[in-house]
Amino acid sequence: MTIKTTQLNQLKEEVSKCKGCLLCETRNNIVFSDGCENAPIMFIGEAPGKNEDEQGLPFVGRAGKLLRKYLEEVGYLKEDFYIANTLKCRPPQNRKPTKEEKLACEKFLLKQIEIVNPKIIVLVGATALESFIKTKITITKARGEIFEINKKLFVPVFHPSYLLRFHNEKENSPRYLFRKDLEKILLLARENES
């Protein structure tokens, strides 16, 4: 077992005991992470949904399956990415997380980032964007842009749940742009391999 594995397991145990907000009372499972702990790319989503809460894994519902389909098609390997969320527990009816809930989980997410130490952090959707990019900017304007914060690269992308509303990939459609953003991120990670 590596040091990272030990540290992440200890953090997961800490999260499982968290009572920092009321979501601990309604969750079935904490949703900690999935993917490779040594990955150069870390995806951060919003919060667990129903399927995630049941399985204890991020991005396993319809939106998650779409994300994973695109990752595979674009050429991501399992060792390329690690996935987490801003919240570790599901908000009722999949509502948007409150500031208090995000604050309660923030220390866990920041610790995950510190341990995994990815080169690129992909902010999946508006909630993740708002958690890290403090200027007022919409996901539509920010997606695909590269932000550097504390020597880390952050790239916002559309949330795959938004993509479920669209069914084609014609040029400049949300699905087309999402695919292009994923390609750009993978290329950036490969260029920065040391």
- Report whether pLDDT(112) > 90: yes
Pull the structure tokens for residue 64.
Answer: 């998650």
Q: Which of 65, 59, 60, 115 is nearest to 85 (CA)?
A: 59
Tens digit of pLDDT for each residue in 74-86? 999 999 999 999 9
Beta carbons within 8 Å of 127's beta carbon, 6+ residues apart: 45, 46, 47, 86, 96, 97, 102
Pairing of strands 81-85, 41-45: parallel
- The CA distance from 50 to 97, in Å, is 14
176 exposure class (CB count in 10 Å sphere: 0-12, 13-18, 19+): middle
Give residue 194's pLDDT.
58
Q: Which domains can be identified in the chain, with CATH numbers?
A: 3-191 (3.40.470.10)
Neighbour tally for 125: CB within 10 Å: 22
Instruction: Evaluate if residue 193 carries a pLDDT over 80.
Output: no
Q: What's the sign of the alpha-carbon dihedral 48, 177, 39, 4?
A: negative
The rounded mean pLDDT for the chain is 95
* pLDDT one-digit tens code per residue, 135-163: 889 999 999 999 999 889 999 999 999 99
* Interval 106-125 mean pLDDT: 97
pLDDT mean over 60-85? 96
Two structure tokens written together for 38: 């040594």
171-184: per-residue pLDDT in tens? 999 999 999 999 99
For residue 192, the model assigns a pLDDT of 77
Say if residue 100's pLDDT is above 80: yes
Q: Which residues contact 105 (CB under 8 A, 6 or more apart)?
A: 18, 20, 21, 86, 87, 88, 89
